[in-house]
Amino acid sequence: MFFMKKALLMLLATAVVGLGVTPLTADAAVKKHGKHVKSAAPLKKSTAQLKSKSKKHARVMTHIRYSRQGSSPLLSDSQVLALGSSAVLVQDQATGAVLYEKNANAVLPIASITKLMTAMVALDASPDLKETLTIGVEDVDLLKGTHSRLSVGAKLSREEMLRLALMSSENRAASALSRHYPGGQKAFVAAMNVKAKMLGLNDTRFFDPTGLTALNVSSSHDLAKMVSAAHQYPLIREFTTTVEEEVNVAGRSQQFHNTNALVKSPAWQIGLSKTGYINEAGRCLVMQAWINSKPTIIVLLDSVGKMTRVGDANRIKRWVEANAQAQAPQRLPTS
- 317 an active-site residue? no
Closest CA to 253 of 241, 261, 245, 243: 245
- 228 an active-site residue? no
In this structure, the strands spanning 85-92 and 217-218 are unpaired
Burial 216-237 (b: 16+ CB within 10 A, else e): bbbbbbbbbbbbbbbbebeebb
Give the span between the Cα atoms of 187 and 315, in whole angstroms: 41
Asked if 177 contacts 269 with a C-beta cutoff of 8 angstroms, the reply is: no
| Catalytic choice (115, 195, 274, 317) | 115
Q: In sequence order, which ranges of the chain are alpha helices (DSSP H)?
A: 2-18, 26-33, 41-62, 114-124, 158-167, 171-179, 184-198, 220-230, 234-240, 308-327
> In degrees rounded to 5, what are phi and psi of residue 205?
-140, 140
- 175 an active-site residue? no
Closest CA to 219 of 98, 104, 65, 85: 104
Rg of the chain over all Cα atoms, to the nearest angstrom:
27
| Catalytic choice (86, 112, 219, 273) | 112
| Catalytic choice (85, 148, 169, 303) | 169
Eight-class DSSP state of 251? T
Asked if 208 contacts 278 with a C-beta cutoff of 8 angstroms, the reply is: no
Catalytic residues: 112, 115, 169
